[in-house]
Amino acid sequence: MAGRNTIVAVDLGSSEIKALVCGFDEDNARITVRGYHKGESLYIDEKGRITDVNSLALSLGTVIHEACNIAGVSSPCVVCGLPITDINQYHSTGPISIPPEKGAPGQVKREHIRQAIETAQNIRYPGDHEIIDILVEDYIIDNSKRVQNPLDMPGSRLDVNLLICSAPSSSIMVVRKCIEKAGFFCEDIFLNPIAAGTVAVSSYAREKGCVHIDMGASLTTFSVYQKGSIIYMGSVPEGGKFVTSDLLAAYRVPSSYNTLSAVDMLKKRYNKLKIDKANEEIVLQSVSGQAEASLTREQFVTVMVDRLDEIFEEVDNDIKKNRLLEEVDEVILSGGTARFAGITELCRKRFGKPVSVATPWVTGDDMMAEINVPEFVTAYGLANYYYLGDERSKAFRSYENEGGTLRNVIRDIFGKFKRG
């Protein structure tokens, strides 16, 4: 998988397509970003579903080609993200026995791990779905729970707890078809929240317990972590576009491409969620430059705060409904909508937890500074997940002559499983 040194990580958002051309420095085990480009996304709906394969393929091809020209590479492979709106999640356990060795307790080998994972993934799921990802939550060796790395540990029984995600085969196929029509090879497809979490959420935050909220234009997704692993994922069909729509309604002007664009520009310009000049007028101008309507700063900010708080409330209600709020010690935000100034304070009031905003933290020149923003977390996360896997995989980086990662083991099982 990671043998291909250059890949393009593509984030198909509902407002923008983002492409990062990435390589992997094996000496330093570090991902390098060689180029990037982004373009408008017009053929993806509010749930992240592609609505026009041929038209999106043209847009996608343009974005990827521009990114590759900047990076000075050609014909790379593509890894792409999939939203979680239609996925099913399963928690499964796979126990196996470990035979003794010459009268002494047996030791866990890679083959035992493989067998346990194969046992745990033997689940039933809808016939029109296929497994899109498998995450290891933890292991149990005899009476020792929450083992992260069981390799070479003594014991007589090994259990593995997995989070298995399946997605509609049609959703996966249409993404692949779109990439192929754009003229590229689709190397792999990952779930966006899982990939983004490898960048946004630290090992410490995973262990303590946290929720990662990725706020896009039309869709907000969230992942709950407990004891080092994702235990639940969900989504809210709202995002930054809804803030724009609410402002448009507040201005009481007809909706058109021009008015939407003008309101969106005002939203980005006056993005502080704080009323410091309550009576200041924020004027919406027409295409001709004439004043079309106005709101006071207080009205403008109130509209934005109300919608953003509604999004947080939806996430909060879902977490509470699944009785997971007690597992959350902090909240981590990412995505373009997380760039509102003061959004951490608003989120803190809703959840009563410490809040931070994640960025990719890519080092390099001025170009790298341009992608060190919350909306590039998913694209960079896709590259990170491709090359390095998740936190549970990193413990299996290499052992003597048995190199590779746990993700490679799981991928082998994937291939065997899909072939039947």
* pLDDT on residue 145: 86
**Is the pLDDT score of 138 beyond 60?**
yes
Closest CA to 200 of 348, 41, 381, 20: 381
* pLDDT on residue 241: 93
Mean pLDDT of 333-358: 96
385, 198 Cβ separation under 8 angstroms: yes
Question: What Cα–Cα distance (Å) separates residue 97 from each residue in 50, 104, 134?
Answer: 45, 14, 22
Does an H or E element contain 408, and which? helix 406-419
Does an H or E element contain 124, and which? none
Token digits of residue 161:
């707890």
* pLDDT on residue 346: 97
The backbone region for 104, taken as left when phi is positive above 0, alpha when psi lies in -120 to 50, beta otherwise, is beta
* pLDDT on residue 399: 32
Residue 395 pLDDT level (bands cut at 50, 70, 90) = very low
Residue 43 pLDDT level (bands cut at 50, 70, 90) = confident
Mean pLDDT of 195-203: 94
**Is the pLDDT score of 2 beyond 60?**
no
Mean pLDDT of 220-246: 93
**Is the pLDDT score of 75 beyond 80?**
no
Token digits of residue 166:
């399946």
Highest mean pLDDT, choosing among 73-77, 177-181, 289-293, 389-393? 177-181
- Measured from the Cβ of residue 101, the count of other Cβ atoms closer than 10 Å reads 10
**Is the pLDDT score of 157 beyond 60?**
yes
d(Cα 7, Cα 26) in Å, to the nearest integer?
15
* pLDDT on residue 199: 94
**Is the pLDDT score of 274 beyond 50?**
yes
**Is the pLDDT score of 160 beyond 80?**
yes
* pLDDT on residue 74: 85
Closest CA to 2 of 321, 333, 401, 387: 387
* pLDDT on residue 260: 87
**Is the pLDDT score of 24 beyond 80?**
yes
- Domains (range + CATH), the chain: 88-167+402-419 (3.30.1490.110), 203-357 (3.30.420.40)
Give the DSSP letter string of 371-399: H-SGGGHHHHHHHHHHHH--HHHHTTS--
Mean pLDDT of 138-160: 90
Residue 292 pLDDT level (bands cut at 50, 70, 90) = confident
d(Cα 257, Cα 408) in Å, to the nearest integer?
46
If one compares 394 and 350, the residue with the highest pLDDT of the two is 350
d(Cα 90, Cα 203) in Å, to the nearest integer?
23
Mean pLDDT of 264-283: 90
**Is the pLDDT score of 398 beyond 60?**
no
- Any idea what the Cα angle at residue 331 is, between residues 327 and 334, rounded to 5°? 135
Mean pLDDT of 140-163: 90
**Is the pLDDT score of 178 beyond 90?**
yes
Residue 287 pLDDT level (bands cut at 50, 70, 90) = low
Q: What is the mean pLDDT of the chain?
A: 87
d(Cα 124, Cα 127) in Å, to the nearest integer?
9
By percentage, how much of the chain surpasses pLDDT 70? Answer: 89
Mean pLDDT of 10-25: 92
